[in-house]
Each structure stands twice: as structure tokens, then as C-alpha cells.
Structure 1
Amino acid sequence: MERRASLTGRARYWFDTTLARGTSALVGWLALGCLVVVFPASAVLVWTDPHAPESRSGRMVAIWRLTGETLRLGGATGPLLRVLLSVLLALVALVYVSTLVGLITTGLTERLTALRRGRSTVVEQGHSVVLGWSEQVFTVVGELVAANANQRYGAVAVLADRNKTTMEETLGSKVGATGRTRLICRSGPPTDPALLALTNPGAASAVLVLPHDDPSADPEVVKTLLALRSALGEAEGPPVVAAVRDDRYRLAAALAAGTHGTVLESDAITARLIVQSARRPGLSLVYRDLLDFAGDEFYLTFDPALTSRSFGDTLLAYATSSVVGLLRDGKPLLNPSPQTLISPGDRLIVITRDDDTARLSDCSGLVDESVMTSWQPESPRPERILILGWNRRASLMVDQLGRNAVHGSVIAVVADRKEVTAEQVRDAGTAFAPRLTVTFRPGDVTRPETLRCLEIDSYDSVVVLGPDPLPGQQPDEADNRTLVTLLVLQLLEQETGRELPVVTEMTDDRNRTLAPVSPGADVIISGKLIGLLMAQISQNRHLAAVFEELFSLTGSQVHLRPAASYVLPGFETSFATVVAAARQRGECAIGYRRHDRATAVPDHGVRINPDKGERRRWTDRDEVIVIAQD
């Protein structure tokens, strides 16, 4: 038995050794294997054929011919030299055909591989180009598809250092159907001008450079903008919209983007919206409605009939559009004085359904002055805000809260010592002492005992922040701790009997539905917010200055104010009356929020740009959405 095993092992070793000698040995074994199968099978076929020759020599010739035809080795009979020559010719033909098939196969394979890698040049005109891959890509592509919904031919080209097929499958699953908009993916680093040229940026309507998920990767955004400049050469190029996280790179990115470029600072914008939402609960819902292309958004329009009329007159000149400002000499003026006269070169900034829905319709006859209330300015009061957790945007929030804080205001910070120190927190608010007091308490915000010691119901609002992701950590992992913190806050709400006004920052939009907060609460997805802004500005670069002012600490902002400040509660009246009442206060009313639908999905009671003729009975708990000076 051992001897048989030894012989088997030696035979296998000898066989493996011969195969290792190269192609010639492999061809030889292949030919031998074929003969071992074909020759006996041919002999059986010949011997069982009733029409086969009677003689043994005739049958051997028939076997040879059948074997040659099967293996394409000729099959000529006669003298040995004739047989060998036929075999030689057959081998030459076989080598030629095999080589030709191999070359064709190799060429097709290389071509298919190149197509899979996305290395062909885009030939579309007027398309949108998205450079980079981050959490914003799904929002940006989805909004661009929505913006192209009324166009016959639209295209969005995405260039990222990822597999083309993977990008197409991921975008298809998260963005969904793209309708008449064609989605084109190209694979390669956007910092390479040669690969960037594959997207045909010179013929694009806009180029969007996405911020990276890693805050330390802002230099890649600058490098991508420089590569875009190199790819365009001396050509002027399309408008460019880019975003960086750190303000240290904003100037460099702006210089690289050129005069037609717009660079957003994502961390600062996110911090501003969180602060505004903490002071005016429900504001994030208003911005979400204004920034996506699914509802009403900002457009520019003008009608010569409005020339020399006052801005206040234009507020009631459109039935289905809300006028909010002027574009004068290329600069937006949000909520100017009602006495401002309209010049021939001005354009109106309106909120409307689409770019062709702003039509003149005098609504002044719908105003009922008898139910309008007199204006009584609100007195500012100290505010108490609790911040649970800390990340790189928290210091920006403290800074913005402190800039217009009323004397006696308090910001309390509770966070782990691994995230921030007491000195860092106090330094963030030092510039605003003594009108603002900033305190720090170390602790784990996911533990009930930590939050029970805070008298949490004494605060005007609570801000929940997730930690910055660690190197190698997925960005949305910070949401896990945020969800636990929200569960603890929900427990405290049940214990105190008070619904806390909570503003939550999250990374992954899919976690919004998991958040244990009341429907209609302020949940801010930082990546989605920046993606919506980039998509809006890419369609009209003048909107960059509009959003800059809306998110600024000074100037006109979006406010939610009690409806009782504009019309008498309990009376039915038109929205035109609300607009007229807001005009008397130097404000632009753009919508309202119904208290009885505050928890109803999907709008949570928010109604942007209602028809001026819409009538409803207003309550003292309803809110009017206005653009006004803070």
C-alpha cells in the first residue's frame, strides 16, 4: 500500500515537473489527452459503422480521418510524408486562427475594461460635473436630477477615484430613477488634469467640487480646483462651486476657483444653522423646504411693469410667488426698505415653484386691514442653551451665540474630557464676557445620571453634537452616540413632563428616521445641508450671496414669529393680509407653520409660498415665516 502511494506521489511529482517546463509541455500533454479520448472514440464509431470498410487497413484509415477531422489535423492519407505535411498545415492554420482569436479577445477585453474604468471622454454639452466622492454626492446628484426634471436632455457627470461600476450601482440605489437625466460616471482621481478632462468641463453648465469626509483633506479640494484650471487652459470655463471644512483653506480654494467660483465653508454654515435653529425651533424644516428642488425655491425674475414702483408694492404683486429682495448691480439686497424704488436694471429675488411661475397678479384687494395687529417690538431676553457633546464646530457655535447674546445669557457645555478641556470651552466664550457665561462640566452624555444633575428643563434649548470621527472611523459612527443621548433626553422629558426643544446634528440622513425625537424636531444633517446649497448655487451663482446673508450673524435672516403679531387670532383671513402686516414691520412674509400639523409628515405644518388668496383661521400658536432683520 505504501509502495503504491509512493508510486502515485512520484507520478504526480513528475507530471507537475513537466507542466512547469512551460507552454510546450502543456501543449504536449493537452494533445496526448485529446488523443487518448478521440482515438478510441473514433475507433468505436468506425467499428460500429455498417458502411465501414471491411479490411483492417481500411478501417485504420477511416479512424485516422475521423481523428484528424475532430482535432482539425488534416486527415490526409497515403505515404507518411503526405500525412505529416497535412498535419503540419493543419497546425499552422490552428496557430494562426488561435492567435487571431486571442488578439481579438484581448482587444475586446481591454476595451471593456477601459469602459468599466470610465476612461472615455464625455461628449454632452451643458451638463453638470461633480468632482469627488463624499457624503454629499448623493444629495448633490439627486438635486441636480430634480433640477433637470423639466429639461428634455440633461446629464450629470461624476468623476471620483472609485470603480465606475460601483459608483453607478451606489448612486442608482440611493438616488433612484433619474428620469430623462443621464448619469455618467468616470473613474480616476479628480486631481489629475488629464483624467478630469474626460468630463468635458469646458462644455459644462457648472462644476461642483465636493468636500472630503476627512476634515484634513481640504488641500485635496484646492488641488482639484487647480487641476480644473489646468484642464480648462485659457478658456473661461463654467461656474464652479466648491466646499471646504476648515476656514484656513477657504482663501486658497477661492483663488484656485477663479472669479466665477464660489467656495462654501461647510463647518461655519452648519454651525450657523444649528445656532439659528436653537433660537428659533423649526427653522431647519424651513431651510430644508427652501433648499431642495422638490418644492419652492429662489429664482430671479422681473417685469417691466414694476419699474419705478416701490419694493413694498411688489410684495403683493404676485399671487403665487413671494418677493424677498432685489438683485442690483449683481449684488443681492434681501428685504430692502419697502420705500426702495425698482430700477430698470434690477431683478426681483422671489420664492416660487419654477422659473416660469412668477406672473404678475395684483393681490392688494385681498388684504383685510381690520384683522391686522399693531406692531410691538419684542424685547431681547437672556437665553440659556445646553450643549451636549463637542466637536470641531462647537467653538464656532459658541462664538456665534456670543456675538449677539443679551447680558445674563448662559451656555452650558457637557462633554467627555477626551473631546474637550475646560480651558478650551472657556476660551471659546472669553471674548463675550461678562454678558455671556460659558460653563463646562465633564461627563458622559449617554448616561442618565449625568443629565439628571443639570436641571435640564431650565434651558431654552438643547443642542446634541456627535464627536469628530477618529482616523479610520466611519463618519456616521458618531451618530450612534447621538442616538443614545437622544434616548436619555426622551426619558428625562417623560420624567419632567416637558417637551425639550432639541436641535440634533447628525451625519447620516438614514439615521434621521431612527432618532427618538418628536416629529418636526430640528435634525440637521450637515452633509445634506451643504449638498443642497451647492446644488442650488450651481444653478444660479447669484444665490451664493443670498444664502451667505441668510446664514450670517447680521443682515436679514429667516425667522419664525407668532402669528398673533401679524393678525388677530381666531379670525379667518387671507395670507395676503399677513404679507401686508409684515410689510408694515419692514419684513417679507414667505409662509407659515400650522401648530396643529407640527408633527404631521412630511411637511410638519410648514407651508412655503402659499397663494396670497389662501384663507385660514389663524391661532395664537401658529407661526409666520418671515425674512427680516434680527
Structure 2
Amino acid sequence: MAPRRTPLGERFRYWFDSTLARGAPALVGWLALLCLAVVVPASAVVVWTDPQAPASLTGRLAQVWRLTGETLRLGGATGTPLGVVLSVLLALVALLYVSTLVGLITTALTERLIALRRGRSTVLESGHAVVLGWSEQVFTVVGELIAANANRRGAAVALLADRDKTVMEEALNTRTRPGGRTRLICRSGPPTDPAVLALTNPAEAGVVLVLPHDEPDADAQVVKTLLALRAALPGHDAGPPVVAALRDDRYRLAASLAAGPSGIVLESDTVTAALIVQAARRPGLSLVHRELLDFAGDEFYLTTEPSLVGRPFGDALLSYTTSSVVGLMRGHVPLLGPPPHTTIGPDDLLVVISRDDDTVRPDDCSHAVEETAIASEQPPPARPERVLLLGWNRRAPLVIGRLRRCARPGSAVDVIAEDGEVTLQEVDDADREAGTGLTLTLRRGDVTSPGTLRGLEIAAYDSVIVLGRDPAPGHPSDEPDMRTLVTLLLLRRLERTTGRELPVVTELIDDRNRALAPISPGADVIISGKLIGLLMAQISQNRHLAAVFEELFSAEGSGVHLRPATDYVLPGHETPFATVVAAARLRGECAIGYRSHDDASTAPAYGVRINPPKTERRRWDPRDEVVVVGRD
């Protein structure tokens, strides 16, 4: 068979590509030929069409050469051949010098711009917030710091993570609120390297926040980052306050030692498990915590009021119209929801919830209480409960342990999980921790399969907890949420089939998936990363609140609860909120708000109202709930 004849165009293209592959000399040669091919004919046309051009051919050719030389900056001198050659040589030398100078300047500017884009310059701010690490919490932390500094001039947040600076800036600009007066500075590099960490100028910072990670060695990386911070500070223990978050309690002592005496270390899994259990017993609590921890709403403050010194704590509950008193700070120990007869000492601080620190103004509102509207019946005693736990992750044993602490004898937890999600050893360990008051059983099954859920008596459970898998290395970070959303769709279908609204509590990783979750108004969604981010941001602005939050989420302390409104006021009556506060005081609790059943499906608050004025009147529906701080 005769060989195929290569077209002339392909052979020319191959030859041209081969000459270009020889490097810069070939490229310069082709550029010179191209310029001459354009400039010489154009100059000839200009000369031959000029009525004042020389009449002789020699004169016209000299004129063409002059135009060509001026266009290409070759001088265009005429005369003897030696003079023309020398003028061209000098022009080439001048052209080479100018081109080299321009190239050097361009290269220097490019290198400087690349260095700036890499985020390798030192931050020269003072009093700024330093955020170390990158995880889902970074968007919440940075967004809350921006909100906290909304009225502050010259505020700045410096972020250091082992990611590209441009990628971090684009992600933060997409998922956080506008910066306002706060400057956002990103630096790229490993936070575990003291030399790189020094780029954030931690010695002059107002606070340093170390974010948790999702990798298997996340806690070890947090401890290493804290050690790098100590190495980067000249005085070690004289550095700024540090707020860090861990997953595992085993690393807490090491992290606390590395963070120093002014450091605060949070356990993200413990806090998340506590909120999951609280919400499982009364869905909607995550909305309450979001309102309390978000800088956009009412927040916790510590204040003094000399007029209340020596009086019982119960009097303070109705001494503020637009603020809610929830406890005392005695020394460094918080007393949340103490007995009403507790005497307020001269050194005690009041723990209050208010719109801002300047809105905490005493104003007696006890006259607004309507005693006749207070409910006199006692709530029914707690009964054994059945909980369905769908899925398994590293927080599941903590959730079961929390359920054990507050379970009535005869309570049961049924776990549905696949073979690869949980081992029998993990269930046995959790069962031993559960004790005799809680029965734990395990059934194998895929929670995303319709057949698995159809085989359950869903209507027999008091609450359903849906846990997503732990993010696996090398897999998409949103895979656990995708499986959780599929499970929620199946549960929603079962709700329509059975005609019963299930009290479902769901754990999600990405806050953006909350709007996608197909849940009923009586369900709740826990965004674990967002909750820890809110806590870290709040403590970074007032480290004394760390003890208050630890008490709120501890198993034995006073926490935030949702109670039926009928436990406090007569249903169908219109009465001020001060009446609810007085009724809660009789039960040793502090009422701080309510959740309206009629607005439970309306975003963004979903019926939750925190710190309403004590004089606000409303008609209480039997399905409304009251938000209180007190013991379970």
C-alpha cells in the first residue's frame, strides 16, 4: 500500500513548529522577518504615493529605508554602507538595553505581585484577630468577627491556612457577609510552622483562634499549632488570649497546656452531642442557641447593679424590662438559674441577655405581672422514652452517654447502622456506659434504603436522631450530608403515611444544606461546625463567658430548655411576658423567651423570640413553648 502523501500545509506547519522549538533565536528571527514583511511594503507604498518623493529610484529606495528604520527604531540613517551598518548596530544595542530594562522591571513587578498573591508578607496590624486553620467553622468565625467589629474603626482579621490566598479570599467573599469596616487579610502557609505563623503578627494581636479540622489527626494538628504559636511569641505566656477547639477529650489537657494560662479550649464533639440530645427531647433548641450566640441578635453580658446588692436573685428577674437576667458570676464560677432566694453579693456579676451592653438598664416591671394568669397545675412527671438513632459517627457514643444521664428507667435507644459504620465493640462500650436505666440495641441496615425504614415502627418512637457519617479522607466533604438528606426524604414520606409528625433531630455539616433539609416544623437541624464557630467568636470577644457556655452545655449544670407554655400560663389568655417570668421564678427557672407555634415554619426565626420586653402582651396558644434557663 502506497504511503499517504502529506499535504503541503501540514509539512509547512511541522517545519515551522520545528524551528520554533529551537528556542529564542528562532523566535527572534521569525519576528524580524514578520516585521520586515509588513513594514517594508507599507513604507514603499507610502513613498511611491507621496507626490514630494524623490524622482530617482535610488532616492525613493533611500526614503523607504528611512521609514523602515524609523518604524523599527533602527535609526534609518543613509550614506556610506559602513555608516548605515554602524547606525543599525547602535540602534540594536539601544533597543536591547531598553528591552532588557523593561523586562527586568516587569519581572520584578510580576514576582512582587506573585508574592503578594501567595500571602507571604508580614501583617503590620495591632489589636487584630488571628484565625489559624481552615475548616467549615472558618466562615462562621470570620463572619461573626466582622459583625462584632461593625462599629469599630481599623478592625482587621488575619487568616493563616495552608491554602492558596486567592482561593481563600474568594471562598470567604462568597460565604460571609460584607466586611464593612473590618479588613480581611489572608496569608498562605502551614500554621504549625512558627516562622510562617509569625506572618500574622500574633504578638500584637487582640485574640488568636485555632480552628478544629476534619482530618484524622486533627486534634494533634491543633496542639502542634498551639505549640507553634508559643514559639512564635517572644514572651510565650505573655501573648494574646487564645481560643481553640478540639474533637477528642484526650487532647484537652495537652492543648490547655500549650494554649497557656489565658487560653480556652472547647470540645466540639461534646458540645454538639449535648445539643443533639437537648434538641431530641425538645426540637427547636438549636434555633434558640443560634439566636443567643449570633452577634446579630441578643447576647450574654456580665454587668453590675448596686441597687440589687443584698436582695434575693428572684427580684432581679423583674428588674429589667428589655433585658433577661439568667444567673450570677460569683468569682469565676457561674451560677445559672440559681434558687430565687439566693442573695446577690457585692462582688457578684449579673449574667444577662440583652441587645447590647448599653441596653442593660434597670427598670422594675413587677407591676406588669398578672397573678391570675399563672398556671397552677404541675407538669406531668417524665416517663420512659424510646429513641431511634439512624446512622453512626464518632459522636454517637457521646450522644448515648448524654441520653443515659437524663433517661428514666425503662428508656431504650435503637441504633440502625451499616456494618462499616459501627463495630460491635463500639456498641458494647456504649452499652456499658448506658447503665441499667437505658437499653441499647443494634440493628444492621442502610438508613438510606426505603425498605430499612419501612420495617420500623416509626410512630412508636418519641424522637428520631439522624447522624451523618464522619467525612472520609479522599471523599467529597458533602457526602455525609447527601446521605442525611436522602434519609430525611424517606422519613418525611413516612410522616405522610402514618399521619404523625416525627420529632426528628438532624446533624448536618454544611450550613447551606439546612435550607435543603425536608423536615417538618417540629423537627430540628444541628449544624455542628456553625455552633462551635459561634461559641469561639463569642468567647473571643469576652473570654469570661467561656465558663457560662461550659455550664450551659454541661450534663449536670443548668441549660437552656423549651417547655410547654401551659406549664406557666393559662392557655388562651392574653398576658404580658412578665407573667411568664414570674411563673418560671416559682419553678426556680429564668424565662428568656418563647417559640410561637403559629410561626414555627416561618424563616428565619421559625417562631423563636429571645428577650422580648416584659411588657409585651400576647395570647398564649396551648402549643406555644417557653424558653427557660434552669436544671432539667
What residue in structure 1 maps to residue 309 of structure 2? 307
TM superposition shift of 1:394:
0.7
Distance 1:628 1:48, change over 3 A: same
TM superposition shift of 1:4:
9.7
**What are the within-5 Å matches in structure 2 for residues 98-497 of structure 1?**
98-234=99-235, 236-374=238-376, 376=378, 379-497=381-499
3-state SS of 1:323 partner: strand
What residue in structure 2 maps to residue 91 of structure 1? 92
Counterparts of 2:29 and 2:257, CA distance in 1: 67
Distance 1:69 1:238, change over 3 A: same
In structure 2, what residue type is equivalent to 1:103? L
TM superposition shift of 1:580:
1.7
Kept after mapping to 1: 8 A contact 2:391/2:417: yes
In structure 1, what residue type is equivalent to 2:179? T
Identity of matched residues, %: 71
What residue in structure 2 maps to residue 35 of structure 1? 36
Counterparts of 1:165 and 1:16, CA distance in 2: 36
Q: More displaced, 605-614 or 38-47?
A: 38-47
Distance 1:597 1:66, change over 3 A: closer
Q: More displaced, 268-277 or 379-388?
A: 379-388
TM superposition shift of 1:483:
1.5
Distance 1:9 1:419, change over 3 A: closer
Kept after mapping to 2: 8 A contact 1:299/1:352: yes
TM superposition shift of 1:93:
0.8
Kept after mapping to 1: 8 A contact 2:501/2:522: no
Kept after mapping to 2: 8 A contact 1:375/1:585: no
What is the TM-score with the length of structure 2 in the denominator? 0.94
Distance 1:47 1:314, change over 3 A: same
Counterparts of 1:87 and 1:401, CA distance in 2: 91
Kept after mapping to 2: 8 A contact 1:519/1:601: no
3-state SS of 1:411 partner: strand
Distance 1:14 1:569, change over 3 A: closer
Distance 1:6 1:480, change over 3 A: closer
Counterparts of 2:151 and 2:37, CA distance in 1: 69
Kept after mapping to 2: 8 A contact 1:384/1:410: yes
In structure 2, what residue type is equivalent to 1:154? A
Distance 1:497 1:26, change over 3 A: closer
In structure 2, what residue type is equivalent to 1:508? D
3-state SS of 1:274 partner: helix
TM superposition shift of 1:277:
0.9
1:517 corresponds to 2:519: yes
TM superposition shift of 1:377:
6.6
1:611 corresponds to 2:613: yes
Distance 1:90 1:420, change over 3 A: same
**What are the within-5 Å matches in structure 2 for residues 584-623 of structure 1?**
584-623=586-625
In structure 2, what residue type is equivalent to 1:628? G
Counterparts of 2:432 and 2:191, CA distance in 1: 42
TM superposition shift of 1:250:
2.2
Kept after mapping to 1: 8 A contact 2:327/2:338: yes
Distance 1:27 1:485, change over 3 A: closer
Q: More displaced, 568-577 or 547-556?
A: 568-577
Q: More displaced, 387-396 or 308-317?
A: 308-317
Kept after mapping to 2: 8 A contact 1:245/1:265: yes
TM superposition shift of 1:501:
0.7
Distance 1:295 1:22, change over 3 A: closer
1:569 corresponds to 2:608: no
In structure 2, what residue type is equivalent to 1:149? A
Q: More displaced, 500-509 or 448-457?
A: 448-457
> Which aligned segments of 4 or more residues in structure 1 are displaced greater than 4 angstroms?
1-22
Counterparts of 2:595 and 2:21, CA distance in 1: 79
Distance 1:483 1:85, change over 3 A: same
Counterparts of 2:431 and 2:531, CA distance in 1: 26
Counterparts of 1:317 and 1:420, CA distance in 2: 52
**What are the within-5 Å matches in structure 2 for residues 497-576 of structure 1?**
497-519=499-521, 521-576=523-578
Deviations 1:106-133 (A, max 9, x none): 1111111122222233233322222111
TM superposition shift of 1:103:
0.9
Kept after mapping to 1: 8 A contact 2:203/2:234: no
Q: More displaced, 315-324 or 226-235?
A: 226-235
Deviations 1:501-542 (A, max 9, x none): 111111122221221111352111111111111111111111
TM superposition shift of 1:628:
0.8
Gaps of 5+ in 2: none
Distance 1:370 1:122, change over 3 A: same
3-state SS of 1:391 partner: coil
Counterparts of 2:252 and 2:425, CA distance in 1: 27
TM superposition shift of 1:330:
2.7
Q: More displaced, 579-588 or 91-100?
A: 579-588
TM superposition shift of 1:466:
1.3
3-state SS of 1:351 partner: strand
Kept after mapping to 2: 8 A contact 1:590/1:627: yes
Kept after mapping to 2: 8 A contact 1:507/1:527: yes
**RMSD, aligned CA:** 2.3
**What are the within-5 Å matches in structure 2 for residues 73-92 of structure 1?**
73-92=74-93
TM superposition shift of 1:461:
0.5
Counterparts of 2:357 and 2:465, CA distance in 1: 37
TM superposition shift of 1:375:
7.0
Kept after mapping to 2: 8 A contact 1:402/1:429: no
Counterparts of 1:537 and 1:246, CA distance in 2: 20
Distance 1:17 1:465, change over 3 A: closer
TM superposition shift of 1:20:
4.8
In structure 2, what residue type is equivalent to 1:262? I
3-state SS of 1:402 partner: helix
Distance 1:188 1:3, change over 3 A: closer
Q: More displaced, 353-362 or 163-172?
A: 163-172
Kept after mapping to 1: 8 A contact 2:400/2:434: no
Kept after mapping to 2: 8 A contact 1:285/1:520: no
Gaps of 5+ in 1: none
Distance 1:572 1:24, change over 3 A: closer
TM superposition shift of 1:613:
0.9
Counterparts of 1:381 and 1:7, CA distance in 2: 92
TM superposition shift of 1:553:
0.7
TM superposition shift of 1:378:
5.0
State how many pairs are aligned.
630
Kept after mapping to 1: 8 A contact 2:208/2:241: yes
1:60 corresponds to 2:61: yes
TM superposition shift of 1:339:
2.6
Distance 1:617 1:37, change over 3 A: closer
3-state SS of 2:358 partner: coil
Kept after mapping to 2: 8 A contact 1:300/1:350: yes
Kept after mapping to 1: 8 A contact 2:503/2:523: yes
In structure 1, what residue type is equivalent to 2:538? Q
Distance 1:427 1:5, change over 3 A: closer
Distance 1:6 1:306, change over 3 A: closer
Distance 1:433 1:18, change over 3 A: closer
3-state SS of 1:396 partner: helix
Counterparts of 2:201 and 2:372, CA distance in 1: 60
Kept after mapping to 2: 8 A contact 1:426/1:439: no
Deviations 1:86-114 (A, max 9, x none): 11211111111111101110111111112
TM superposition shift of 1:321:
0.5
3-state SS of 1:603 partner: coil
TM superposition shift of 1:179:
2.1
What residue in structure 2 maps to residue 71 of structure 1? 72
